[in-house]
Amino acid sequence: MKKQRQLQLIIVGLITQLALAPCISHAYQPNLYAEGLRAEFSGDYGLAVHKYELSAQSGLSDAKFVLGRLYRDVYGDAENSFKWFLEAAKQGNAFAQYEVATLYRHGNEVVTQDAEQAIKWLRAAAKRGSGQAAYALFEIVTDENEAVTWLQIAADRGVVDAMNELGNAYNNGAYGFNVDNSLGQKWLEEAARSQE
């Protein structure tokens, strides 16, 4: 009877551990990510990559994005960079979606230029709030009405190039806008203030 009770307690303990494992894993994730940040800022990139990879394996898209950036900027490893950016992008990370779109837009030794993929990922990033993605869509979509919509969104999100472009468009009557110098001036001044 005593052994049966001990077995029941062990089973309850195991079930509790299994039930709490995702919570513990996710609670530990930010600590690994923070440790990665500390290591990166102190210049210990090897340790940073290790901590970020552990965090990424737990599913943290921010860690995957940072790994993409480190592999690109520190190690010059385009293949691993794209791999991590793509994983983060698939999880909905807008920064990674923008990076993936940029890689498809321009291509490199790993990624073949693909305008459709670039637009797909730019739209995803713009829908998640990326002003830079909205401005890139303005630059590459062929439908003028859609392009102007993305230009307005990018300007509203504080992209300086978009504010300047929109201000000039109002001043010159471009993209189907009626000439409106006061609105044009407003956007140009807003752009100038943003650069201060």
Calpha distance 100→136 (Å, rounded): 13
Residue 46 has pLDDT above 50, yes or no: yes
141 near 157, Cβ under 8 Å?
no
Q: What is the mean pLDDT of residues 160-178?
A: 96
Residue 145 has pLDDT above 90, yes or no: yes
Predicted confidence (pLDDT) per residue in 4-37, tens digit: 555 454 444 434 444 444 444 444 456 999 999 9
Res 4: pLDDT: 56
* Residue 178 DSSP class: P
- Residue 122: CB partners within 8 Å, gap ≥ 6? 97, 98, 101, 105, 133, 136, 137, 140
Rounded percentage of the chain residues whose pLDDT exceeds 90:
84
Predicted confidence (pLDDT) per residue in 86-118, tens digit: 999 999 999 999 999 999 999 999 999 999 999
pTM for this prediction? 0.81
Task: Identify the CATH homologous superfamily for domain 28-128.
Answer: Tetratricopeptide repeat domain (1.25.40.10)
